[in-house]
Amino acid sequence: MKGTRVLVVGDVMLDEFLWGRVARISPEAPVPVVEITSQTFHLGGAANVAFNVRSLGGAAVVAGVIGDDAAGRRLREALVDGGVEDALAVAGEGRPTTHKTRIIAHHQQVVRADREEAGAIGATLEDAIGEALRRSAKGAGAIILSDYQKGVVTRRLMGKVLASARAADIPLFVDPKVRHFALYRGASVVTPNQMEAEQATGVRIRDIAGLHEAGHKILKTLRCRAALITRGEQGMALFEQDKKPVEIATAAQQVFDVTGAGDTVIATLALALAAGAALPEAAMLANYAAGVVVGKIGTATVSPEEVLAAIPA
């Protein structure tokens, strides 16, 4: 996977963490008072997917939208620090960088505050991202669409993403949102979690029969090559056209925080496939990578050494 180039497009975010401890309850309201001891910033959303690609040894470029603000400048600095190539477009006045602030005390999230404008981006930004896609897809082994439903994924932009994947003859991986499911038709691989698979198909997954019905329905609806349904502590299930489903048991030993686990899954899956792995192999690697990252607190990434260490001898 080392050096394999992956293009990531979608909703980029800045994740801020305020770390502290709770010593008392507020006299103003029945809420804890968190004494802040430190503050950290991390790449979030599509930017975290790209950082996961980079952390695994791949070369990553990210396309999306930021605001002309302090959060956007900090996000760009973090991309430079993380070795991720920046192909971001800057929005005009009124559209801020998506910025999530989480307060953590005693290893538990107390509250989250979001600053964002989730309305659909306009034609100018769609065209800017489309041009970045056209340039950056050359030499890439895969494209990842990271949809966090913050306005970047529109019908028109999806057309540009699909066209870029076809022109470069590379697979398109999608981390989906249910509201946009119909837009993903023609993608190579989609990675819904179990709840998203249920909502998108109308199938309740309560047993293996329900799981298989939902997986095959996704393949038929989206006409995609494969669907990887992530199921938390129940592992994953890979569905490919004209092949038997592959069920993968979870590799997680401890679960502290699932923040960003989906980013790790799709980054590992796409990077491994672009580097020459078969889909079942890529899915198993993604499962081990996710098992490592949920054992960390906050938006996290995983290294090749950590993935190798997680694989039983």
* Residue carrying structure tokens 């990842």: 144
- What are the residue numbers of the active site? 263
Q: How far apart are CA 51 and CA 31, in angstroms?
A: 35
Q: How far apart are CA 301 and CA 192, in angstroms?
A: 20
First CA to last CA distance, the chain: 20
Q: Give the residue from 3, 6, 2 showing the smallest Cα distance to 270.
A: 6
Q: How far apart are CA 263 and CA 310, in angstroms?
A: 18
SS3 string, the chain, reads CCCCEEEEEECEEEEEEEEEEEEEECCCCCCEEEEEEEEEEEEEEHHHHHHHHHHCCCEEEEECEECCCHHHHHHHHHHHHHCCEECCEECCCCCCCCEEEEEEECCEEEEEEEECCCCCCCHHHHHHHHHHHHHHCCCCCEEEEECCCCCCCCHHHHHHHHHHHHHHCCCEEEECCHHHHHHHCCCCEECCEHHHHHHHHCCCCCCHHHHHHHHHHHHHHHCCCEEEEECHHHCEEEEECCCCCEEECCCCCCCCCCCCHHHHHHHHHHHHHHCCCCHHHHHHHHHHHHHHHCCCCCCCCCCHHHHHHHCCC
Evaluate whether 43 touches 127 at the Cβ level (below 8 Å). no
